[in-house]
A and B are shown apart, each in its own frame.
Chain A
Amino acid sequence: GENVEQHPSTLSVQEGDSAVIKCTYSDSASNYFPWYKQELGKRPQLIIDIRSNVGEKKDQRIAVTLNKTAKHFSLHITETQPEDSAVYFCAACQPPKTISNFGNEKLTFGTGTRLTIIP
């Protein structure tokens, strides 16, 4: 099955600086890579995603890059703000193995990165 590794486990960044979180995956068939943000006591929420046919995607202060050859993808947050403090999870989605299993895409999550923005 898929194995997703995420680093670092904790990250402290001065407000205004950039933060980078990296993930690697093992299954070359994985084709969809979402990032979730989970604030304390709240549910994980999708913040950005990228598909295997794209190398980079940006949405305001957040961007994700994907290197299919190396099987790694990264989350970049620029001009960090206190409200960016949260736990961030990467995930890799494996497509269904058969057509009859269509719709049964499976997400494998990384272990999470606790990001703290220092005012």
Chain B
Amino acid sequence: ETGVTQTPRHLVMGMTNKKSLKCEQHLGHNAMYWYKQSAKKPLELMFVYNFKEQTENNSVPSRFSPECPNSSHLFLHLHTLQPEDSALYLCASSQAPGGRGQETQYFGPGTRLLVL
């Protein structure tokens, strides 16, 4: 349960605010992910980092800016968000490169974001 941690767990922000979400993994993994989970929608992959390098940007608006300073930490910087960005933001990690079981992703508890 403590392999992947996220802070804060809840966040309320106005549309003009700037905030950051933090994710930390203690599993020795090399790949980290940001997902958005909205009501009645599938988990939407936002970004993938592999060995600190961004390898996937799933057409995410520029008001979301990821940062991966090392393989254990991942940030999501938020600015000028819209109310429709309110959702649960989940971080995940996996071992990389591939191999048996190494693509299994382990999720953090998420940050529930409300944009007013």
Contacts and interface: CB of A to CB of B under 8 A. Distances in A.
Contacts of A42: 109
B105 A43 contact: no
A107 B98 contact: no
Interface string A90-118: 00010110000111111111111000000
Contacts of A110: 42
B98 A89 contact: no
A89 B105 CA distance: 13
A103 B96 CA distance: 5
A44 B90 contact: yes
Nearest to B41: A111
Given A32-B103, A106-B45, A43 B98 contact: no
Contact of B98 (A96, A108, A112): A96
Contacts of B106: 46
A111 B100 CA distance: 26
B97 interface: yes
A45 interface: yes
Chain A interface category by residue count: 20 to 34
B96 A109 contact: no
A59 to B, nearest CB: 14
A103 B42 contact: no
Contacts, number: 63
A101 B104 contact: no
Nearest to B91: A43
B98 A95 contact: yes
A45 B42 contact: no
Contacts of B50: 103-104
Interface string A33-51: 0101000001111100101
Given A45-B107, A102-B98, A106-B48, A89 B55 contact: no
B42 A46 contact: no
B90 A49 contact: no
Nearest to A111: B42
Contact of A104 (B4, B42, B96, B105): B96
A103 B104 contact: no
Q: Which 3 A-B pairs give the minimum distances between C-beta atoms? A: A103-B96, A103-B97, A105-B103
